[in-house]
Structures are given as structure tokens and as C-alpha cells.
Structure 1
Amino acid sequence: MDDFTLQSELEAMAGNAGIPLSEDQEIPTEGIGTTMARWRKLFDMKPDDAVERIIEHRQNLTRLRVSNDHWETIRAEKENQGYDRESYEYELALQKKKALLPTLSPVVDETTGSTVTYFVELDGHLSTPQDVQKAAGMDYEPLKVAGSSVEDDRGVRPRYSDGPVN
């Protein structure tokens, strides 16, 4: 790694740590409640999940940052959609993760012919069995099973599919 690349990476990490690189750099001043409400609306999250994702995002020193020029170019459009700079950067990170994830198709064991079973909690964008069926490209509605969360002992409504996904 050359000196210029190293310096650029260190400056990016300093910016992510909240240390202003210049006098005109924006520092978020709104309360966590306002930020949480925005993220809940944009990313369809529960309140606790939104706060957790915000904290994780802010603590990630290697997170993606958009340049001031880029943000100024798209700012009006994104603010009309409900984004601020931080939530827009989080959205870009989500898109990057989704692009890097392999397609989720079941692996068939050649010897037994069995497939992997996926359990999906009905929540967020996948809140109904029909949502799961559509997202997975299934010919049938996934089967219902009973369950509870290990973390907080709340009831969950998972569905599962042990057949091939079309």
C-alpha cells in the first residue's frame, strides 16, 4: 500500500469516527429518536432493530462514505425520499451486501436427494406466507411451524420450505 492510499484510508476512518476533517463537514445533530423514526420508515425495521443498526453503522470505522460533492448532487432527490446522508450511506452499504450475497438456492445432496430447509420469520418485507412464496419463487405456500425467539422469548411465526426453490 503506498503512502497516498494509506493516508486516504486513515482520513476516511477519521471521518467515520466523527472527527471533522474540515470546518464545513456536517456532523449529525438530530436526536436518536428522529433518526430511529427515519430508519424505521426507510428500512422497515422495529424500533430496537433500528437503534441497533444505527449504532452499528456509526461504530463501523470502515463504512462507506459518500463525498461531499456526490451528496450535494443527489441531496434534494434523496431528502425528498426521506433520506439524510447517514441513511443514504447505510442504504448503499445494504445494496453492496445484497450484491455480494450468493443466490440462496437449496443445495441438493446427490446421494439422498434432500435439500436444505430455510426457516423464515414473518417480519418486515417478508411478513406474510405469500411474501415468502413470491420472494422464493415457490409454487406453493410455505408451511407454518411454531417457534419462539431465543433472545427475548417472544413468539415468532416462522415458515419453512424444504423443497427446491424455482
Structure 2
Amino acid sequence: MASSPAAIQKFERNVPRVTYCCFFFDMNVGGTLLSLFGIITGFAYLARSLHVLYNIHAFEMGLGEDDALNNEDDNIWVVYISTMFVGFFFVIVSIFMLYGSTKRMAHHVFPYLIGILLSTFWSIVLGTIEVFDSDMDLALGYFIFAAFQFYLWVCAVSLYRDLIEVEQNPNKPTRTTV
């Protein structure tokens, strides 16, 4: 039987709980879809980073005069190596989520909760930076993306709480089905 620490249980009671993931999917199906989307997104980050790093000269030639990466101070290598790290991170935590949602193991869902929360926080930071750079359209896009990620985080927390209930009392009827 798995049990959450008291601080996490207190925090979980304050987080909204949804019945359906993405408004009409069962929680286990929604968790599986979220993890598959995370795996695809992670591989897309990896592929884009590897493509740019492999063809760095062609990428630099395509930058415009006013492009943010076209400064001598900016290092394209750092940007795309960090993007590669983010992609790898998303693949790993999404694989944990996929395994946890299909095998009904709450502790495997927890890394995804941390990953999506960090990603939401980072989107808010980037949006705030864009506000100060006076690019309001991009800032709005980051904030909308952060709100969407927060909703997905609430879905994942609901799945986590459902799976904790199943682990604590396997005979109890649950809201989730397989």
C-alpha cells in the first residue's frame, strides 16, 4: 500500500479535482493520452534540437537581422542543447506516466506531476520576460500555454489521487476504469 506524506495529502485536498480528463476522457485513458502526447512532444523537441545542431551553419544563415538569436551575445548551442534536455526529460517523465496510468501505480505518475509543474512555471517565466521585452503577443501565447498546462496538471493530480485511493483500498469502487 502506498501512502502520501501528510504535507502532500494536505496539499492534494486544496487542488481541484476533475472527473474527466480533457472534459470527456476517463482518467486512466486521459493519463495514457497525456503521456503519449508528452512522449511525442519530447521526441519533437529532440528532433528539432538535433536538426538545428547538426545544421547549425544553415540555421544561422536563415536568421533575420532582428531575430533574437542573431546576436553575438546569444549562444545557439546553449539554447538547443537545453531544448534537447527538456525533450529528453519529457520523454522520461511521460514514460513513467504511461506506465503508472496503465498499471494503476500512483508513484509512477508523480514524476509527470513535477515535470508539468516545472514546465508551467517556466512558461510563466518566459511570458513575463516577453512582457518586459514588449512582445505582448508572444507573452500572451506563453500565458495561455501555462493555463493549458495547469489544467493538464490538475488532470494528472486527479489521476494520481484516484490511483492512491485504489492502492489504499483495492476493493473500493473507483471513478476510473481500465
Length-normalised TM-score, structure 2: 0.27
Structure 1 or 2, whichever has the larger Rg, is: 1
Question: Larger strand proportion, structure 1 or 2?
Answer: 1
Length-normalised TM-score, structure 1: 0.28
Question: Larger helix proportion, structure 1 or 2?
Answer: 2
Q: Which has the higher contact order (CA 8 A, sep 6+)?
A: 2
